[in-house]
Chain A
Amino acid sequence: MKFLISMHINPAVLDALTDEEKAAIGEGHGAFIEALKKSGELITTQALVDPSQAAVVSVRNGQPVVTDGPFLESKEYLGGFYLIDCENKQRAIELAAQIPDTAIAGLGVEVRQVMFAEGQLEA
């Protein structure tokens, strides 16, 4: 079963962390990626640039209109994701719990099953 584990970050919360805490998050993700690769459960993982760099695109009267993002008026934004293939939802949740973000108040980690997939998966 394929699941997307999405990480919803809050830039203010991240800014308030100490350098040690930030480094621990980075190391935690690194170890998590290595373990997922070894177990054959990682499809791909990607992290996104800061939400302030987002462009919001809409088309009005056939003309594209581009404004500065982000689209959502929110404290939290999609920061990145893991796309995994594992046994079941229980296992996906077990894996998600290993992500360092889950231990920090104000950061959200969400697990959702994939319903449709198409395109190259060679990440």
Chain B
Amino acid sequence: MTAPVIEDLLRALTPQVLGALVRRHGQFEGCEDAVQEAVLAATVQWPAEGVPDNPRGWLVTVASRRFIDQLRSEHARRERESAAAAEVVPEDVPDTDDTLVLLFLCCHPTLTAASQTALTLRAVGGLTTAEIARAFLVPEGTMAARISRAKQRIKAAGSSFRLPVGAEREERLRVVLHVLYLIFNEGYTASSGSELHRPDLAHEAIRLARMVRAQLPEDGEAAGLLALMLLTHARREARTTAGGDLVPLDEQDRTRWDRALIDEGTELVKAALAGPALGPYQLQAAIAATHADAATAEETNWPQVHALYLILERIAPNPMVTLNRAIALAETKGPQAGLALLGTLDGDARMSGHHRLLSVRAHLLEKAGDPAAAYELYRRAAKATASLAEQRYLESRAGRVRT
């Protein structure tokens, strides 16, 4: 087995091994450290000595040993009897898939989003702390502290290793999906620094979303989220030039969109939309699928895009959705209609001075034949964004309307 194949295997096994360990010993916090150590040991040993016949069993055994060693040294330090450690007898580990339970735990509501994403990537995604630190461009020590703090919080919250039930389960699942969405977005929009040696977070988020979907085949939003990721990821090659400049949707070379991802995403959307409950991810995926369906930008079914945004706005009101609907409205009813809708966002504190509001208004003013006003707004939007690629793009748009 080659190193990348071993890496994939380890990442897939991590949540299973961690689940087995927590079921055997309790103590998520300590087990998580032990599993990370076992995975690191495997990363060194397996490429050199070969993958054991039962890799999952190997990892469970090594991680258990580490965990017990850890317990013993703690007990010794406290000068207590190591009775608890001695009582731990390796037993048959139930062959249940604990991926979901772990995800619910890592996405615990008492944690910040930054901690939820980091812990999820480590405990469920099987990434090392160093890899996660590189992905978020922070020092390893910073990430290690964040993960350790997150585990302390979970422990303090007294959560048990089980699936939440009823309304709590629904609520917590929304958090899990949101965390996966954030991981995907981080990978999709990452613009700063060198891309070399950074783990592909978009790819990782898709892998995790597939896991969730496999566990919850009946959940429309789990399917919707996976579909949204696939349909967005399909455009990846076309959305930037070789020089790293952004290419807007209407100027992308659609032959470079990944057909296989689009087909898979579109199938998922169709199936999800036929289900009983409609959620925000399904609707966003349906919008992405509508764009994917158009061979050229001119063929885009804008009335359908607008209708989908309208539903989205009703079930999940959000100024960003209204902003996107204004673009679709301008395509169907003209730029003035779009500008009028944007006017309703002016009183919204969340959007005040937001670069997206400035840039969309600039775009619609440009279409409406007011290049001077568009120029001013493109310039203001360029100053307001925190993304270098976006800033370059907005400055080029400003340059275009001035001449």
- Provide the residues of chain B in CB contact with A114, threshold 8 Å: 192, 386
Partner of B142, one of A43, A113, A115, A119: A43
B344 contacts partner chain A, Cβ-Cβ < 8 Å? no
Does B114 lie within 8 Å of A116, measured CB to CB?
Answer: no
Are B193 and A116 in contact, with the CB atoms below 8 A?
yes
Interchain nearest-CB distance for B89 vs A (Å): 36
Give the docked Cα–Cα distance between A44 and B147 (Å). 18
Checking B112, B145, B192 against A117 with a beta-carbon cut-off of 8 angstroms, the contacting residue is B192
* Known A39-B146, A86-B114: A118·B140 in contact at CB below 8 Å: no
Contact B139 A121 (CB under 8 A): yes
Query: B201 to chain A: closest CB distance in Å?
Result: 15
Q: Is A73 an interface residue (CB 8 A)?
A: no
CB of B137 within 8 A of CB of A117, answer: yes
Nearest CB in chain A to that of B386: its residue: A113
Contact among B114, B137, B391 for A121, CB-based, below 8 A: B137
Given the complex, which residues of A lie within 8 Å of B114, measured CB to CB?
85-87
Contact indicator A39/B145 (Cβ below 8 Å):
yes
A87's contact among B112, B148, B388, B391, by CB below 8 Å, is which? B112
Tell me what chain A mostly uses at the interface: helix, strand, loop, or mixed.
loop
How many Å lie between the Cα of A43 and that of B387 in the bound state?
20
Residues of chain B with a CB closer than 8 A to A85's CB: 114, 136, 138, 142
Nearest CB of B to A111, in Å? 13
CB distance A39 to B192 under 8 Å?
no
Instruction: Identify B192's interface contact among A40, A42, A87, A116, CB under 8 A.
Output: A116
Q: Mark B370-398, 1 if CB is under 8 A from A, else 0.
A: 00000000000000001110010000000
CB atoms of B140 and A40 under 8 A apart: no
Q: How far is the CA of A86 from the CA of B146 in the complex (A)?
A: 10
A31 nearest CB across to chain B (Å): 16
Q: Which residues of A contact B147 (CB under 8 A)?
A: 40
Q: In the complex, which residue of chain A has the Cβ closest to the Cβ of B115?
A: A40
Chain A residue, CB-CB nearest to B148: A40
Q: How far is A1 from B136 in the complex, measured between Cα atoms in Å? A: 9
Query: Does chain A have a CB within 8 A of B169?
Result: no
> In the complex, what's the smallest C-beta–C-beta distance from A112 to chain B, in angstroms?
10
Q: Main SS of the interface on chain B?
A: helix
B143 at the interface (CB under 8 A from A): yes
Q: A39-B145, A39-B146, A40-B149 are in contact. Are A118 and B139 (CB under 8 A)?
A: no
Q: Provide the bound-state CA to CA distance between A83 and B141, in Å.
A: 14
- State whether A40 touches B137 (Cβ < 8 A): no
B149 contacts A38, C-beta separation under 8 Å:
yes
Would you call B149 and A39 a contact (CB within 8 A)?
yes
Check if B192 sits within 8 Å of A118, measured CB to CB.
yes
Question: Which chain B positions have C-beta within 8 A of A38?
Answer: 145, 149
Give Cα A89 to B248, complex, Å: 27
CB of B401 within 8 Å of the partner chain: no
Q: Per-residue 0/1 for A38-67: is the Cβ within 8 Å of any B Cβ (1 yes, 0 no)? A: 111111100000000000000000000000
In this assembly, does A37 line the interface, its C-beta being within 8 Å of a C-beta of chain B? yes
B residues less than 8 Å from A12 (CB atoms): none
A121 to B114, CA, bound (A): 18
Roughly how many angstroms separate A117 CA and B386 CA in the complex, as a whole number? Answer: 12
Report the minimal beta-carbon distance from A117 to chain B, rounded to whole angstroms.
Answer: 5
Chain A residues lying within 8 Å of B241, measured Cβ to Cβ, are none
B54 on interface, CB distance cutoff 8 Å = no
Contact across chains for A115 and B139 when beta carbons are under 8 A apart: no
Any B CB within 8 A of the CB of A123: yes
Q: Report whether A122 and B139 are in contact in the complex, using a CB–CB cutoff of 8 Å.
A: yes
For the complex formed, measure the closest distance between the CB of A54 and the CB atoms of chain B, giving whole angstroms. Answer: 28
Q: How far is the CA of A21 from the CA of B114 in the complex (A)?
A: 36
Near B by CB (< 8 A), chain A positions 83-123 give 85-87, 113-119, 121-123
* In contact, B194 and A118 (Cβ under 8 angstroms): yes
Give the chain B neighbours of A119 by CB distance below 8 A: 193
Chain A contacts for B148, CB-based, 8 A: 40
Alpha-carbon distance between A86 and B112 when the two chains are bound, in angstroms: 9
- Asked if B261 lies at the interface with its beta carbon under 8 angstroms from chain A, I say no
Assuming the contacts A85-B136, A87-B113, asked whether A117 and B193 have C-beta atoms less than 8 A apart, the reply is: yes
Complex-state Cα separation, A31 to B149, whole angstroms: 17
Q: Are B388 and A116 closer than 8 Å at their CB atoms?
A: yes
Binding site for B on A (CB under 8 A): 1-2, 37-44, 85-87, 113-119, 121-123
Q: Residues on B close to A: CB < 8 A?
A: 112-115, 118, 136-149, 191-194, 386-388, 391
14 A-B residue pairings within 8 Å (CB atoms): A39-B145, A40-B118, A40-B145, A40-B147, A41-B142, A44-B139, A85-B136, A113-B386, A114-B386, A115-B192, A116-B191, A118-B192, A118-B194, A122-B139
Inter-chain pairs besides A40-B145, A43-B142, A119-B193, 11 sampled, C-beta below 8 Å? A2-B137, A37-B141, A38-B149, A39-B146, A40-B115, A40-B144, A43-B139, A87-B112, A117-B192, A117-B193, A118-B194
